[in-house]
Amino acid sequence: MDKVFATPEDALADITDGAIVAIGGFSVGHRFALSLITALHAKGTKNLCLVCNSMGAAGELRGQILAENKQVKKLIAAFTTRPGMPTATEEQIISGELEVELVPQGTLVERCRAGGAGIPAFYSATCVGTDIADGKELREFDGKQYVLEKAIKLDYALLRAYRADRAGNVQFRGGSQNLNPAFAKAARIAIVEVDEIVEVGGIAPELINLPGIFVSRVIKSTRPFDAQQTPQSKRRPGDQPRLYNDKPALTRSGIAKRAAGIITEGSYVNLGTGIPTMVSNYLDGRDVVLHAENGVLGYGKMVSGDQIDPDMYNASGQYIEVMPGASFFDSVTSFEMARGGRINTVILGAYEVDQTGSVANWSTADAKRGGIGGAMDLISGGSELIIVMEHCDSKGRPKLKKNCKFPLTGKGCVTYVVTDLALLKWETDHFVLLEVAPGFTAEEVIALSEMAMVKSPTLQYMA
């Protein structure tokens, strides 16, 4: 049974207009099927329904180049747009040319897993009480509400892996399984491009991450991935503080350091994108195991230069060191850990937190545009939730609100908030101001906030 095709063009020859196509890969540039995406772009197949984590930046060899070529009619994704990154996808969403279904990342892979397993639908606690649940069936189990989620079936999945044999058995490296196995199982035809093709028996059975029964076609990649091409953040440097009342607050790195100090020893901790990723740099010597939703358990600080391994990265796509005892898995398993209550603490960035303990961190415009990512799934397991963010937005408006204005990520779920001015903790029905940044008073912090809060009688300075 030989599943090897000579070229990407041969492997895509039968794809037709209107097909449902999933594109594997994660974050800003890791292990995407560059050869297959390029071939699909050249083929010009129209009216596609794309299923993916995100579309990428303008001009990137991702789903974005298909949108730029007007090949996409519908998008099912966890990220449709990202702040500060105007794209053809965003333009077509605004104009109404492109239909969008935003899906939390963990729910996306679970819906695909269900589609591949012959399960038509399932109930999930993720997104209950948010705009994403609008119009979906709700049902109560054991006193808790759940949303009905329908399975996703695919015509094609375009995937990338480390190597495969001629029978389609696939091996991934490091954290690069991510969405690929779920997409392969949901697809009628899964096509995998690899760095290396070996003869049957050339991969030890225990190293096969995706059995050949789920793979229809294999090609040798013609577009190698360059780890150095990964885009870097254009935000203010982490060691440069903002000014409030003409005084410097904590830096973004300082926020991360203070959040690291809250983490309980012996914890499994998930770090979201942005400021949360910096927390990993302040955990040396701590009994803390870090979890990343792309499929890594047990990683350490961020690395650069010669220390980079292109398959070792966190949920922000930043390269990381891998600690002794680490393990790798796919996104389905990763979100099982979160929804199943195995993760003790989740640290996320946010646009807003309100005085009911609710958080909004995923939309910059309306309920059809933005980036949900994995946050809703991560917090649905009832873990301790630490929000890290700057105290006010770029226009000086408070991010600590009476009520969130952006669509909610979760209701009544925040345990701590760490800003560049304050540390707050939720106590029964209100937030308590425990600490303020050096050089600031509690009164200044409260004046720069909209939410009601109670000043601790033992107020301290943040360190």
Closest Cα to residue 57, out of 87, 93, 79?
87
Burial class (CB in 10 A: 0-12, 13-18, 19+), 154: buried
Contact assessment for residue 183 and residue 159, using Cβ atoms and an 8 Å cutoff: yes
Contact assessment for residue 268 and residue 342, using Cβ atoms and an 8 Å cutoff: yes
| Residue 91 annotated in active site | no
In sequence order, the β-bridge partners of residue 72 are 48
Got the DSSP string for 215-247? --EEEE-SS---GGGS----SPPTT---EETTE
Got the DSSP string for 84-149? T---HHHHHHHHTSSEEEE--HHHHHHHHHHHHHT--EEEESTTTTSGGGTTS-EEEETTEEEEEE
> Considering 293, 352, 390, 435, which one is annotated as catalytic?
293
Q: What DSSP character marks residue 364?
A: S
Spatial distance between the Cα atoms of 278 and 418, rounded to a whole number of angstroms: 13
Q: What DSSP character marks residue 78?
A: S
H-helix or E-strand containing 194? strand 187-198
Contact assessment for residue 407 and residue 361, using Cβ atoms and an 8 Å cutoff: no
Q: Are strands 352-354 and 247-248 parallel, antiparallel or unpaired?
A: unpaired
Query: For the chain, first and last CA: distance in Å?
Result: 62
Burial class (CB in 10 A: 0-12, 13-18, 19+), 282: middle
| Catalytically annotated residues | 293
